[in-house]
Structure formats: structure tokens, C-alpha cells
Amino acid sequence: MSTGFATTDERLPAYVRLRDTLTARIAAGDWTPDQPIPSEARLAREFDVSVGTVRKAVDGLVGEGLLERRQGSGTYMRAPSFNATLFRFFPMRGSEGAPLSIPQSQMILRTPAEAPTEAAAALGTGEVIKIVRLRSLSDQPVLFEEIYIPRTRFVGFETLPDTAFGPLLYPTYFEHFGVLVKRATDEVSFGRASVTVAQQLRIAAGDPLAVICRTAFDVEDKPVEWRIASGSAEGFRYRSEIS
Amino acid sequence: MSTGFATTDERLPAYVRLRDTLTARIAAGDWTPDQPIPSEARLAREFDVSVGTVRKAVDGLVGEGLLERRQGSGTYMRAPSFNATLFRFFPMRGSEGAPLSIPQSQMILRTPAEAPTEAAAALGTGEVIKIVRLRSLSDQPVLFEEIYIPRTRFVGFETLPDTAFGPLLYPTYFEHFGVLVKRATDEVSFGRASVTVAQQLRIAAGDPLAVICRTAFDVEDKPVEWRIASGSAEGFRYRSEIS
DNA sequence: GTCAACTAGTCATATATATGAATTGTCTTG
DNA sequence: CAAGACAATTCATATATATGACTAGTTGAC
């Protein structure tokens, strides 16, 4: 008897199977952000489980930040707000509550390429699209980024019009390619500016550099992006919450 | 009618009030780690709520990492495992799976002191105890730490025997002073080694330095520790999970 | 004495139900 | 047409209950 679950291990509890099924639907783009998914009662009927079981499944996804409940209205998809990465890296106000400038993003390059060793290892493939960006605060370049995304997941990325890009990449990933970034791991280290990086950041070659390597994963925990970002070590700050 | 709740706002839902009450008991040291707290059925009777409500309250604390469920056995206190901070900061294997050395911890100083500005601001008091530690990997000093804790929460800290300290401080905080660290915020930046720091780390003054400032909070979200850790920027790595 | 079987206690899963609170759209009324 | 009353829908809280799974200790047979 089919119960409507996606094909997951039958030995697993119903709420787990339902959670996985909902995740698959989200990943497949069946629903769109800021649109309500079916109500708890509907889902209960559809999958032939009780409302309590639906709530438990949804609870998990809310905890992961994939869904958001709004009492009286419904439960909505929610693209994880990896917002304002730059704000995490550099302090935004001088010392007094100085007017915080808006971070800018300038795309320099977007082309198919061969992934460097580390990126290939993280992504599991060498066939990537390479993106180069320069991010600035009040016209001062602060972060130089090289980004690698697997070609198979982002077919046609290099031919997208420039208008498809805002200051953040992850919304574009989702809207045009259905790739939803759920989590990422950052690794901060110290280095020295190469000639090209120095030129972009308008510092001297050999100057101390803060380097952030990030691997981003989608809802199914498959790596979908590897990036290396560099900024002058002067004034650099990386904030992190641990628990 | 008393229902056994600690005095929290009566307008709040029962599961919130119960959760807060349980948190207070944990903070008060009513239970000890690795000891089971009363069973769900007992708690339900004690607070005159249903088992479902108890489960919902406990769910929250499990999510926060304060409690841990063991099916068939009970629910246990769990000091959050802020373990192996050093491992997060420096890579532990050379390049091949080299035998990972055990991090050592040498306490250099432990005395009442006046807090530096930043520590005082974070802790809300200048009356602190200052701790200085040097942390090493295979007899190579890698991290120099200055730690400040409020005197009022840690009465008698400076007179504790050295045997009361292991390689980690947080277990000692809890066992001797009932202070349970639940979360912390780290801030990584880069600077240059002062003469004293350089001496301790056996590097040259002016060498690039990685600096990690941490503020730690207890279960009630009150700041209980501020520390600044410095290590050579060469070979430094700070890992962070974001979502 | 040892080991297997049993048992009591505990958390895990699942259902059914009732009531409250918040939102949203509709309908009535002036 | 506008404003307020109203109703339907949806999530939020809470209870009661049943069954299964797992643990840890006890009992009993050999």
C-alpha cells in the first residue's frame, strides 16, 4: 500500500519519512519561498498520519531553518538567511556609530573552468564554473572572492544576464537552479597577498591577508559551492557563535 | 494554587514555564551531570501537566544541549561539550595522518585583578580574577591565553589547588562554582606579537598573530568569562559551522 | 557461580481530540 | 464605498492514551 511517502526506508519512523519527503519537495522546488505549504491537516490526510506526526516532522524542518510557521496564516518555505556575509567579516562602523555603508558586489569573471585541487576535492568534481567577485565597502575593495560551483548543477550559469545577480549569490542559486544552500563550513586562516590579489584589493603584494575558505551544502548535504575569499588582515574580524 | 513552577510569568505557556523551571534547577545544581533527572511521568505529576507537555519542555533543553535523552534509561544532564578548543584552532595532523599529539595546558597566573576595558565591558564588572595560560602541542607553545572571570561568581578561585584543574576550564567552573557555560561568541582577528606574547610563544616580536576574543555565557545568558587567546598566525586555522 | 529469562522502568512513536490565538477574507450595515 | 462584524482557516497549546523499543536489575534454572 502506498502512503504517499517518497521512497524512504520503511523501517524508519513515520515522522522521519515525512520530514524527508517534505525536504525532497522543497529541494525539488514544488513550493516556492513565501508561499504557504499545505496545511497540517491537509498533509495529515495526504500522508495518512495524524496531525501530531505532521507537526513533529515540520518541527524538524523549522529547526533546520527550511520552514517557517506563521500562526493563523500557514507554514512557509524559507530560504536560509545567509545574509550579509560581509557584515560578519568586517566591522561596519568606524568606531562611533558611523553611518554604515552598503556593501557592493562586482562580478569580474564567470566562466567554465577546471577546479583547483582543494575545490575539486570539496565538490567531488573538477568540472566547475569559476566566478570571481570583488566586494567593496564605500568604494573601498575589501574582499576578493574566487567561487567554484559544479557545472552539472548550474547549467547555463555563465550565460545568465548580469541582471539576474544581486549582491548575494545564494538567492540566484535557488531561483535559477533550484539549489538551496542550507549550511556551510568556514575556515579562517592567515596568508600573504599575491600580486593579483594585492592589485584587486589595492594593497601591496606580500601584505598580511585574512583568508576564508567556505564549503556550502544543499538540503541533501551535497557540496554545491567552494569559495576562497581574501581580505586585508588589517581591520579583519570574523565573528562566530558556538554552542 | 501552586503548581510547582518557579516564579515565571503566569501568562506564558506551561511548557515554557516548565522549561525555565528545569533550566533554573540545572543552573542551581539540583542535579549533576550524568545523573538522570526525574522521569517524564514523575515530572508530569510533580508539575501537574501532561507527559506531552513535559516532553515539549525537555525537547527544548535537549535542543540547547543541556539535557540528553537515553531511551530505556532516563534523561541526563549534559555539560555542553566545548571540548578540544585547541583542535578547532590548529590542525592536528601534519599532512599525513600523523599521530595527533595531546594538547597540554600550563597555568601561569591566577590572581584577583582589575579587568581591562574590553573584558570589563563584556562582563559588566571590573572586579575579576585574571588567569594566564599557555597551551602547547607536543611541547611547542601554540596559544597564549588571558582569561577574566567575575570575582563574585568565582569566590575562592585563586586559592583552589592546582589539582582542581584539568586541561579544560569549563568543567572546573561547573564543578566548583556551579557556573555552566552554555554558549560563547568568538571573534577572530589578526595582529602582531607584543614582546611578552612573543616570548611565551617563542616567536619574534612583531610576528603576525592570530587573536581570538571570546565571551562565554551561562544558561541564563549572563556573561561569565572573557578571554583573549593569541597564537602564531602561521599554521593557524579557525573552523566554523554556519547555518 | 553463570547465564538466560523475565520484569519494571524509561524514553520513542503515534493517534485522537479539544480549545485558544492569530490571520485572512467575506459579508453586512450604514 | 467604507468600516466593522463575522466566519473560516491555520497554527499553538494541552491532554489522554496506547504501543513499541531499549535498559538495567532481578530471578531462577542449571
Asked if A182 and B241 come within 8 Å (Cβ–Cβ), the reply is: no
Do the chains contact at A186 and B240, CB–CB below 8 Å? yes
Helix axes B40-47, B51-63, angle to 10 degrees: 110
Check residue B93 and give its pLDDT: 45
Domain spans in chain A, listed from the N-terminal domain onward = 14-77, 85-232
Cell numbers of A81, please?
538567511
Q: What is the mean pLDDT of chain A?
A: 89
- Nucleotide C11: nearest residue by CA–C1'? B71
CA distance B212 to chain A (A): 9
Chain center to CA of A88: 15
Give the pLDDT of residue A187: 92
Q: Which cell goes with B169?
A: 576550564
Which residues of chain A are within 8 Å of residue B181 when distances are taken between CB atoms?
none
pLDDT, tens only, B52-63: 999 999 999 999
Number of other CB atoms surrounding residue A27 within 10 Å: 17
Please tell me if residue A185 touches chain B, with a CB cutoff of 8 Å: yes
Is the Cβ–Cβ distance between A126 and A115 less than 8 Å?
A: yes
**Which amino acid is residue B43, in one-letter code?**
L
Q: Which chain B residues are Cβ-neighbours of A208 within 8 angstroms?
A: 190, 208, 233
CB atoms within 10 A of CB A20: 20
Query: pLDDT, tens digit, for every residue of B82-127?
Result: 655 656 666 544 444 455 566 788 999 999 999 999 999 999 999 9
Q: Is B91 on the interface with A (CB under 8 A)?
A: no
> What is the percentage of chain A residues whose pLDDT exceeds 90?
64
- Beta-bridged to residue A146, according to DSSP, are A132, A228
Q: Which of B76, B144, B139 is nearest to B107 (CA)?
A: B144
Please state which architecture CATH assigns to domain A14-77: Orthogonal Bundle (1.10)
Q: Which CATH architecture describes the domain B85-232? A: 3-Layer(aba) Sandwich (3.40)
H helix count then E strand count, chain B: 7, 10
